A and B are shown apart, each in its own frame.
Chain A
C-alpha cells in the first residue's frame, strides 16, 4: 500500500482548512465565550476571597476548569457521528482514516491542552489587574504557571516515571471522552461515564468477591514475595506503564471505530 493512502500532509492541511472554514464562527464564539466565562468567574470569586487569594488559588481554578472543560470538549470529538446525514458526508470525504483521526485528536486534545492554559493565563491576569485597580489591598493578583508548577504535580523529587504517571492519568480523562465520542452517537459523555462506572464497579465487585471468596482478609504478603512493586518508585513505574497502555488501547479503539464505522 502506498504511504499516500495512509497519510498525506497536504491532504491533512486541506482537512484543517476545511474545518476552519466550516467552524470559524463557532471557534470565535467558543473562544470569546470561554474567555468571558473565565473573566467573570475569576472576578466573582476574587471579590469574595481577595484577602486569601494567591497563585495557588488561580492554579486550583485553572485545574478544575481544565479538566471539566477538556472532558466536555473531548467528548464533542467526531461531531459528524451525532447524525446519520453528517456521518455519510464525513465518511465519504476523500481523506484517509489516519488523517481524519489525527486531525480530530489534534483539534480536540492537543489544541485544547495548548490553547486553554494560554487563554486562562491572559484572562486571569486581565481580571487580576482590573480587580487590583479597584481593590488595591488585593496584592496577589498576578498569575504565573511556572510559580505554582513546583507546588503541584511536578515536584522536584519526582522521577520521570512519576511525572509520566501523572501526565497519563490526566490524559486518560480526555482520551476516554475522545474514545467514547467515537463509539457512541448520542450523549457520548454520559454513556462514556456510565461505561467507565460500570467497569469500575465491576472491578471493585470482583475484587470484593475474590477477597471474600478465598477469605484473605487480614492476609499480608511479605515484601520479598512480591513479584514487582516492592517500593513506591516501582509502584509508580507500574502505574505509569499501565496508564500508558490503557491510553494507547483507548486510542486504538477510537481509530478502529472510525475506520469501521457503518451508516
Chain B
C-alpha cells in the first residue's frame, strides 16, 4: 500500500531530515509511528499525504505519487492533522458540504460515532471545544472509509474517557483493506490498538516490527531489582524495575513505552 524508496527530504535552509529513507507498509493494520520530538513524524505523514514534496526518491501510496494530488488519491486518503480548523457551520452542514467528495462515505457509521462521542448534528463546529472538534474530525475520517487514514497525534486534547472511546471505535470500525498510521509520542494512548510499530530517529526508520513479532522475541516484566545479565533493557519505576528480557516461554503484553526507550537508546531485539 505504501512504498518509500531512497527518500531524501530537507526543509529550506535546514539540514536533511530524511536521507535515503526506505520503508514499506501493507494494508489491514494500525501502525504506530513513534519518534522523539523533531524526529520527522509529521513531515513523513505530510510527504505521504502529498503536502510536502521530496527532493529525491520515490513515494508510492495506493499506486499514486502523492505529490500529484490526483483526485483518486485524495478521495482515498484522509489526514487528521494535529492542528486543524473548521468553518463556522453546523455538523450537519459540514457533512452536506464534505461527505459527497468521498465515494465510500458511510453515513450510518458517522451517525453512530457522533452518538458515541456525544456530538449532535446541530452543534456548531466553531463553538465546540478543541477535544470535541478532534472527536468530530476522527469520526469524519473513519466515516470516509478511506483506505489510508493518517492520524497525527489523534489523542492530543482528548479526555481520558474519550481516549478509551477512540481506541474502541477505531478498532471496531476498520475494514481489512484499510491502513491506519497513527503518529504519537503518547505511546500509552495507542497500547492495545496498534499492531505494528515503526520508530523514527534522526530521519531513519530504526525499528519496524509487528506486535506479534515483538512479543515472540521479548517479554516485559517487573522486578524488585534490575537483572542486568538477563535484561536487554531496564528502567527504574516506582516500587522496582520494568525490564525487557528475551522471551522465555510466556508472551507478555508489549510495553510500548519501555520498548521505545530501549530502541531509541540503541538496544536491538532481533
Residues of A within 8 A of B101 (CB): 11, 14, 18, 93-95
How far does the alpha carbon of A1 sit from the alpha carbon of B85 in the complex, in Å?
33
| Residue A241 lies at the interface, judged by CB distance under 8 Å to chain B | no
Whether A88 and B52, one on each chain, are in contact in the complex, defined by CB atoms closer than 8 angstroms, is no
Q: Is the interface of A mostly helix, strand, loop or mixed?
A: helix
A93 touches B74 (CB 8 A): yes
A residues in contact with B78, CB < 8 Å = 92
- The reply to whether the CB of A86 lies closer than 8 angstroms to some CB of chain B is yes
Residue of B nearest to A263 (CB): B51
| Contact status B81-A85, CB under 8 Å | yes
What is the CA–CA distance of A93 and B49 in the complex, to the nearest angstrom?
11
A262:B53 contact, CB within 8 angstroms: yes
| CB < 8 Å neighbour of B79 from A17, A86, A88 | A88
CB distance from A213 to the nearest CB of B (A): 37
Number of contact residues on A: which range applies?
Answer: 20 to 34
State whether B71 touches A88 (Cβ < 8 A): no
Do residues A86 and B71 form an inter-chain contact, with CB atoms below 8 A?
A: no
Select B93's contact among A11, A21, A85, A88, beta carbons within 8 Å.
Answer: A21
Contact partner of A89 (CB less than 8 A), chosen from B50, B84, B102, is B84
Contact of A92 among B72, B74, B100 (CB under 8 A): B74
Residues of B within 8 A of A11 (CB): 71, 101
Does A96 contact B71, Cβ atoms closer than 8 Å? yes
- Residues A22 and B74 in contact in the complex (CB < 8 Å), given A85-B84, A262-B53, A263-B46: no
Contacts of B209 in A (CB 8 A): none
**B46/A5 in contact, CB under 8 A:** no
Residue in contact with B87 in the complex, picked from A8, A14, A22, A96, CB distance below 8 Å: A22
CB contacts (< 8 Å) of B97 on chain A: these are: 17-18, 21-22
Chain B residues positioned under 8 Å from A263 (CB to CB): 46, 51-52
A-B CB pair tally, cutoff 8 Å? 69
Report the minimal beta-carbon distance from B45 to chain A, rounded to whole angstroms: 11
Q: Mark B68-99, 1 if CB is under 8 A from A, else 0.
A: 01111011011101011101110001001110
Contact in complex: B71, A4 (CB < 8 Å): yes
Q: Are A21 and B96 in contact (CB under 8 A)?
A: yes
What's the least CB distance linking A8 to chain B, in Å? 8
Minimum CB–CB distance for A16 against chain B, Å: 11
A17 to B99, CA, bound (A): 12
Distance, CA A8 to CA B103, complexed state (A): 14
Cβ proximity bits B159-202 to A, threshold 8 Å, 1 near / 0 not: 00000000000000000000000000000000000000000000
A147 contacts chain B at the CB level, 8 A cutoff: no
Complex interface: chain A residues within 8 A of B53 (CB): 260, 262
Chain A residue with the shortest CB-CB distance to B82: A85
In the complex, which residues 76-125 of chain A have their Cβ closer than 8 Å to any Cβ of chain B? Answer: 83-86, 88-89, 91-97
Q: Is B52 a contact partner of A91 (Cβ separation < 8 A)?
A: no
Q: Please encode chain B, from 16 to 36, with 1 for each CB lying within 8 Å of some chain A CB and 0 for all others.
A: 000000000000000000000
- Chain B, Cβ-Cβ closest to A11: B71
Of the residues A22, A85, A89, A97, contact of B69 by C-beta under 8 Å: A97
Q: Per-residue CB proximity of B96-133 to A under 8 Å, as 1/0?
A: 11101110000000000000000000000000000000
A91 to B101, CA, bound (A): 13
Question: Measured between alpha carbons, how far is A94 from B49 in the docked complex, in Å?
Answer: 12
B89 contact set on A, CB distance < 8 A: 21-22
Interface bits B36-70 vs A (CB < 8 Å: 1, else 0) = 00000000001001111100000000000000011
Also in contact, A95 and B74, with CB within 8 A (given A14-B101, A88-B51): yes
Q: Chain B's nearest CB lies how many Å from the CB of A4?
A: 7
Is A5 a contact of B83 with CB atoms below 8 Å?
no
Given A5-B71, A18-B97, A92-B49, 15 other A-B contacts at CB below 8 A? A17-B96, A17-B97, A18-B101, A21-B89, A22-B97, A23-B87, A85-B83, A86-B85, A88-B81, A88-B84, A92-B79, A94-B71, A94-B101, A260-B53, A263-B51
Can you name 22 A-B pairs with beta carbons within 8 Å? A5-B72, A14-B101, A18-B97, A18-B98, A18-B101, A21-B89, A22-B93, A23-B87, A25-B88, A85-B84, A88-B51, A89-B84, A91-B69, A93-B101, A94-B74, A94-B101, A94-B102, A95-B74, A96-B70, A260-B53, A263-B46, A263-B51
Give the 9 A-B residue pairs with the shortest CB-CB distance, closest first: A94-B75, A94-B74, A85-B85, A21-B97, A18-B97, A94-B101, A22-B87, A263-B51, A85-B84
B positions within 8 Å CB-CB of A: 46, 49-53, 69-72, 74-75, 77-79, 81, 83-85, 87-89, 93, 96-98, 100-102
